[in-house]
Amino acid sequence: MAAKYYAILTNLGAAKLANATALGTTLKITTMAVGDGGGTLPTPDAARMALVNEVRRAPVNSVFIDTANANQVIVEQVIPESEGGFWIREIGLFDESGVMIAVANCAETYKPQLQEGSGRTQVVRMVLIVNSAAAVELKVDPSVVLATRAYVDAAVIEVKAYSDKLLTEHLAEENPHSQYLQIANCLDEIAKGGDAAIEKTLSNLRLGEMARMKRYLVSNGGSDNSWYEIYSDGFIRQGLKYNAANPLNIPTPSSGISVNYPIAFSRVVRNVALMINAATDNSLEFAGYTSENLTTIRVLAQGISNGSNVSSSYLSKFIGYIVIEGF
């Protein structure tokens, strides 16, 4: 049984396609026209240069090669809901110079207008079988393209899958926002940038000159038995004083006694010094400490005799100074 509906190249179209193939150029399909065939279904005729009765002409929406057949070029046009009021029985394709290069008939279909109480988007498609699809330019003008719902849905799915993939990769990265400083790194990113980066940062914060200033005293204070000094870079020096009237009593000198600092350090203790007052009666006593932390020091004392033998007795008080430094 012979096919009732089919498409063919017109004589002019076949000549143009052959010329494009021979010269290595392309044939550019730009517009598609539909017609009502004058009221009857026409038979495609290669000699025709126009449709029997054209009712609409507009730019094509897509031109692509059939994925199932590399020699089939598919051309589509979308007629929106707002246009209609005519029958579609014939289709023509035109190149950029306005020459009809292909003609086809199709199953009769009526394209209604919204004003008639029924409207739909109509997709008109023509499939051309050519010897070399490379001779057909697969380009359309994006400014006039109307997309079908199926195409949009497919595009949305594709875009969503791509965006989900990017988001998953983004969340999996150790540092997805390398342009931002991370609190946990304590400005280490700037330090790794070198001296120039540090200098620029201080300048931007208007701290350049201040950062180069030597350490200076910010505040100090104390009482009869203790004192402290706080400096511009957070350094703290503080001390405790014990005299004969107010000694540090050590009930068990070998294990020591815990003493609180006037001010607790926040980060680290850098230096501890115990100085004995040689003018007092504990001049033969070696004072020391076993441990210190940010808030206290454990002071101990050991007594010796004037001779070579170590005394087994311990003096139970400390008279002198304890100086602690840190941040």
Question: In this model, does residue 323 exceed pLDDT 80?
Answer: yes
Question: In this model, does residue 47 exceed pLDDT 60?
Answer: yes
User: Residue 278: which residues within 8 A CB-CB, separation 6 or more?
Assistant: none
Query: Is 1 within a domain?
Result: no
So what's the pLDDT on residue 56? 92
211, 238, 254: which is the final residue of a domain? 211
d(CA 103, CA 33): 9
Band of pLDDT at residue 201, cut at 50, 70 and 90: confident
125, 147, 169: which is the final residue of a domain? 147
**Domain identity same for 194 and 143:** no
Query: Is 299 within a domain?
Result: yes
Label the pairing between strands 136-137 and 285-292: unpaired
Q: Tell which residue, 91, 157, 101, 162, has the closest CA to residue 124.
A: 91
**Domain identity same for 112 and 186:** no
So what's the pLDDT on residue 250? 80
So what's the pLDDT on residue 48? 92
So what's the pLDDT on residue 284? 44
Question: In this model, does residue 73 exceed pLDDT 80?
Answer: yes
So what's the pLDDT on residue 165? 77
d(CA 133, CA 136): 6
**Domain identity same for 254 and 278:** yes
**Domain identity same for 207 and 243:** no
Q: Tell which residue, 112, 114, 113, 92, has the closest CA to residue 103.
A: 92
**Domain identity same for 203 and 301:** no
**Domain identity same for 174 and 137:** no
Burial class (CB in 10 A: 0-12, 13-18, 19+), 198: middle
Q: Which of 105-109, 190-194, 306-310 has the highest mean pLDDT?
A: 105-109
- DSSP annotation of 225: S
Question: Mean pLDDT, the chain, as a whole number?
Answer: 78
Reading the block at residue 197, the tokens are: 């980066």
Query: Is 2 within a domain?
Result: no
Question: In this model, does residue 123 exceed pLDDT 80?
Answer: yes
User: Residue 187: which residues within 8 A CB-CB, separation 6 or more?
Assistant: 181
Question: In this model, does residue 125 exceed pLDDT 90?
Answer: no
293 HSE (CA, 13 A, CB side): 5
Contact 277, 320 (CB under 8 A): yes
**Domain identity same for 180 and 261:** no
**Mean pLDDT lowest for which of 178-192, 252-266, 308-322?**
308-322
Label the pairing between strands 296-303 and 257-260: antiparallel
Task: Give the residue with greater pLDDT, 11 vs 287.
Answer: 11
Q: Which of 49-63, 148-162, 247-261, 305-319 has the highest mean pLDDT?
A: 49-63
d(CA 121, CA 79): 6
pTM score above 0.85: no
100, 118, 147: which is the final residue of a domain? 147
d(CA 279, CA 256): 22
Q: Give me the number of domains the chain comprises.
A: 3
Q: Tell which residue, 38, 36, 4, 27, has the closest CA to residue 102.
A: 27
Question: In this model, does residue 159 exceed pLDDT 50?
Answer: yes
**Mean pLDDT lowest for which of 33-42, 82-91, 241-250?**
241-250
Question: In this model, does residue 157 exceed pLDDT 70?
Answer: no
**Domain identity same for 227 and 241:** yes
The average pLDDT across 115-133 equals 78
Full residue range of the structural domain in which residue 205 is found: 155-211
**Domain identity same for 133 and 11:** yes
So what's the pLDDT on residue 27? 81
The average pLDDT across 237-255 equals 82
**Domain identity same for 177 and 136:** no
